[in-house]
Amino acid sequence: MTFSKRHLLGIEPLSPPEITTLLDLADRYAERERTTDKHATALAGMTQINMFFENSTRTQASFEIAGKRLGADVMNMAMQTSSVKKGETLIDTALTLNAMHPDLLVVRHPHSGAVNLLAEKVNCAVLNAGDGRHEHPTQALLDALTIRRRKGRLHRLNIAICGDIAHSRVARSNILLLGKMENRVKLIGPPTLMPAGVADWGVEVYDDMARGLEGADVVMMLRLQRERMDGGFIPSEREYYHRYGLDAEKLACAKEDAIVMHPGPMNRGVEIDGTIADDINRSVIQEQVEMGVAVRMAAMDLLAQNLAAERAAYA
């Protein structure tokens, strides 16, 4: 099989053929999701535990739906009321859950690297549902699937990623994936919201929307990650919207058929104008959510196959 990984911790370790294998399978699941025959058996008899140490709407719901569609027993740990609140460490919590023999562990954590650490301590497959400002692999994969379906390809596209790049795991995973698939990636935002060392990332950097959006096939907007900011990164939200918020005037600088994306949750009137976000001729934001379920089904299906093969080899 082309997809050989034990865990899905990030885009960084994935090869272009592995990305294509996952997207091809997700495409088939996306088609099936639009029929009345939604249920498959790839995870039948398996147990999936979702551990979200940070808030989530789309990611947690779609991982739960994806697992159920594939026949897994799905458990959502209520982290707000778990023993984590009594001071139990991440590793102790993971070891406790590991003793209950889950097959898939889906983890979101506010600290970069926490999910990789946890993956070293358990026997099951671990999926990173977002760790700090590090990676959010399933988001980048669902964005890639959305782009591929809309543009008919996932290479040689002109893609602008705009806003709070510094604090965004979505940006990081997308930059890695889109770069591996040989696209032209442009980052647009104020210098205060660009990560250190961005010059070495193989991308173009702009601080002016009109210049950066020129010729763009895809315009990807990002949320201002207030919860990860510990100082004044922008003068005011009003000023930020004026310079970097996506409105009709700025969008006119991109290609006429450019699509608009946002991973959610959106701050309307801060990074994006509500009318653009709701414009079904330009915005693919709801399709991104739809593709989220298909991509998570594909990711768990592939990891489960590898896990089953590994177990059979040791049996």
C-alpha–C-alpha distance, residues 244 and 279, integer Å: 19
Q: Which residue, 130 or 190, is less far from ligand ASP as judged by CB?
A: 130
By CB under 6 A, how many residues form the interface with ligand ASP? Answer: 7
Nearer to ligand ASP, 42 or 107 (CB): 107
- Using CB under 6 A as the criterion, what x/- string covers residues 82-101 for binding ligand ASP? --------------------
CB of 63 to ligand ASP, least distance (A): 12
Q: Which two tokens stand for residue 281?
A: 């001729």
Residue pair 19/176 in contact by the 8 Å Cβ criterion: no
CB 174 within 8 A of CB 219: no
Smallest distance, ligand ASP to C-beta of residue 96, A: 25
Q: Contact letters (x/-) for ligand ASP, 6-45, by CB under 6 A?
A: ----------------------------------------
- Nearest CB to ligand ASP, comparing residues 69 and 223: 223
Of all residues in the shown chain, the one whose CB is closest to ligand ASP is 223
Question: Two tokens at 303?
Answer: 């990891």
**What is the smallest separation between the CB atom of 135 and ligand ASP, expressed in angstroms?**
10
Q: How far is the CB of 23 from ligand ASP (least distance, A)?
A: 20
Q: How far is the CB of 258 from ligand ASP (least distance, A)?
A: 21
Q: CB–CB of 184/159 below 8 Å?
A: yes
**What would the two tokens of residue 24 be?**
């091809």
How far apart are the C-alpha atoms of 53 and 111, rounded to whole Å?
Answer: 10
Cα–Cα distance, 240 to 271 (Å, whole number): 8
Q: x/- contact string, 128-147, with ligand ASP (CB under 6 A)?
A: --x-----x-----------
Which residues, numbered 190-249, are part of the site for ligand ASP (CB under 6 A)? 223
Q: Distance (Å, rounded) from C-alpha 277 to C-alpha 294?
A: 22
Residue (47 or 283) nearer to ligand ASP, CB: 283
Q: Cα(261)–Cα(40) distance, rounded to whole angstroms?
A: 29
Query: How near is the Cβ of 34 to ligand ASP at its closest, in Å?
Result: 24
The reply on whether position 165 binds ligand ASP by CB under 6 A is: no
Shortest Å, Cβ 123 to ligand ASP: 27
- Give yes or no for residue 263 binding ligand ASP (CB under 6 A): yes
Compute the least distance from the CB of residue 79 to ligand ASP, in Å: 15
Q: Which is nearer to ligand ASP, 70 or 170 (CB)?
A: 170
Does 292 participate in binding ligand ASP (rule CB under 6 A)?
no
Q: Which of 69, 109, 148, 169 is close enough to bind ligand ASP by CB under 6 A? A: 169
Binding interface with ligand ASP (CB under 6 A): 130, 136, 169-170, 223, 263-264
